Structure 1
Amino acid sequence: MVDLISFSLVLIILGVILKIYIKLSVKHNGCYKCLVGKTAVVTGSNTGIGYITALDFAKRGCKVILACRNKVKAEAAVFEIQKETNNKNVIYKHLDLSSFKSIRDFAGDFNQMESKLDILVNNAGGIGFENKFTDDGLQVILQTNYAGPFLLTHLLLDKLKKSESGRIVNVAALAGRLAGNIDLNDLNKHPKDATGFYSPVQTYKNTKLCNILFTIELAKKLYGTNVTTNTLHPGIIDTNFLLTIPFFRKLIQFIGKFYFLTPLEGAQTTIYVALSNDLEGVSGKLFDNCREVGMYSNAKDPNMAKKLWEISEKWCKIEENEKIR
Structure 2
Amino acid sequence: MHQGSLETDSEDEIPPAWEERVTFEGKVYYANHETKATQWTHPTTGKKKEVKGELPYGWERKITDEGVVFFIDHVHEKTTYTDPRLAFAEEKKDPIIGFRQKYDGSSTALSVLQGRDLSDQYVIVTGANSGIGYETVRSLSKHGASVVLACRDMVKANDCVKDIQKENPMAKVEAMFLDLAKLSTVKKFAENYLAKDRPLNVLILNAGVFGLPYSKTDDGLETTFQVNHLAQFYLTQLLTELLIKSSPSRVIVVSSESHRFTDLNRNNINTSKLSPSYAQYSDLKAYNLSKICNVAFSMELNRRLRSRNVTSLSLHPGNMMSTSLQRNWWLYRLLFTLVRPFTKSMQQGAATTVLCAASKELEGIGGLYFNNCYRCPASEAACDPVLADKLWTLSENMLEDCLSHAPS
Q: TM-score range by the shorter chain?
A: 0.7 to 0.9
1:227 Cα deviation from its structure 2 partner:
1.0
Q: Which of 176, 197, 213 is the matching residue for 1:130?
A: 213
CA distance in 1 between counterparts of 2:146 and 2:182 reads 25
Kindly tell me: are residues 285 and 191 of structure 1, through their superposed partners in 2, closer, same or farther at Cα, counting changes over 3 Å?
A: farther
C-alpha contact 2:180 2:231 (8 A) present in aligned 1: yes
Aligned to 1:188, which of 261, 275, 286? 275
The CA distance in 1 between the partners of 2:335 and 2:180, in whole Å, is 30
Please state which structure has a larger fraction of its residues in strand. Answer: 2
> Which residues of 2 match residues 279-298 of structure 1 at below 5 A?
279-298=362-381
Instruction: State TM-score, norm by structure 2.
Output: 0.68
Q: Distance in 2 between matches of 1:279 and 1:318?
A: 37
Residue 69 (str. 1) matches residue 149 (str. 2): no
Unaligned 5+ segments in structure 2 are 1-103, 403-408
Find runs of 4+ consecutive structure 1 residues off by over 4 angstroms. none
The answer to whether the 8 Å contact 1:115/1:162 transfers is no
What is the letter of the counterpart of residue 188 of structure 1?
S
In the aligned structure 2, how far is the partner of 1:203 from the partner of 1:240? Answer: 18
- The AA in structure 2 aligned to 1:184 is I
Letter in 1 for 2:275: N
Q: Are 1:310 and 2:388 matched, yes or no?
A: no
Aligned-residue Cα RMSD (Å) equals: 2.0
1:247 aligns to 2:331 (yes or no): yes
Counterpart selection for 1:26 from 73, 96, 106: 106
1:116 equivalent in structure 2: 199
Change (3 A) 1:254 1:308: same
- Alignment of 1:48 with 2:124, yes or no, is no
Which residue in 1 is equivalent to 2:73?
Answer: none
Answer whether contact 2:121 2:200 (CA < 8 A) is retained. yes
Inter-partner Cα distance in structure 2 for 1:241 and 1:275 = 25
Q: Which amino acid aligns with 1:27?
A: S
Tell me which moved more, 104-113 or 245-254. Answer: 245-254
Following TM superposition, by how much is the alpha carbon of 1:248 offset from its aligned partner in structure 2, in angstroms?
5.6
Q: Which runs of 5+ in 1 are unaligned?
A: 1-23, 320-325
Read off the aligned partner of 2:276 and give its amino acid letter: K
- SS of match in other structure, 1:121: strand
CA contact (8 A) 1:172 1:209 kept: yes
Give 1 or 2 for the bigger CA radius of gyration: 2
Q: How far apart are 1:35 and its partner, in Å?
A: 1.1
What does residue 178 of structure 2 align with?
A: 95
The one-character-per-residue Cα deviations of 1:160-193 (angstroms, maximum 9, x if unpaired) are 122242110000000101123353212112387x
Q: What is the distance in 2 between the residues matched to 1:67 and 1:52?
A: 14
Please state if 1:83 is matched with 2:163.
no
Q: Is the 8 A contact 2:205 2:232 kept in 1?
A: yes
Q: Give per-residue Cα distances to partners, 1:230-287, cap 9 Å, x unaligned.
A: 000001112122332332632431222x111111110000000000011111111100
Deviation at 1:157, TM superposition (A): 1.3
Q: How far does residue 26 in structure 1 lie from its aligned partner after superposition?
A: 2.0
| Number of the residue aligned with 2:243 | 160
SS at match of 2:281: coil
- Work out the CA distance in 2 between the residues paired with 1:25 and 1:107: 34
Kindly indicate whether the alpha-carbon contact (under 8 Å) linking 1:151 and 1:318 is maintained by their aligned counterparts in 2: no
Q: Is the 8 A contact 1:100 1:148 kept in 2?
A: yes
Q: Confirm or deny: 8 A CA contact 2:254 2:316 kept in the other structure.
A: yes
Shift in Å at residue 110 of structure 1? 0.5
Partner residue, 2:286: 203
Closer, same or farther in 2 for the Cα pair 1:282/1:251, shift >3 Å? closer
1:169 paired residue number: 252
**Number of corresponding residues:** 292
Q: Match of 1:267? A: 350
* C-alpha distance in structure 1 between counterparts of 2:175 and 2:283, whole Å: 30
Residues 129 and 164 from structure 1, CA distance in 2 versus in 1: closer, same or farther, beyond 3 angstroms? Answer: closer
- Aligned-pair identity in percent equals 34
Cα displacement string for residues 55-109 of structure 1 (whole angstroms, at most 9, x for unaligned residues): 0111011111000000111010010011112135211100001111000000001
Q: Which amino acid aligns with 1:289?
A: N
Change (3 A) 1:116 1:303: same
What do the CA deviations read for 1:196-248 (whole angstroms, capped 9, x no partner)?
x6310000000000001101111110121121110000011121223323326
Give 1:18's aligned residue. Answer: none
Q: CA deviation at 1:135?
A: 1.7
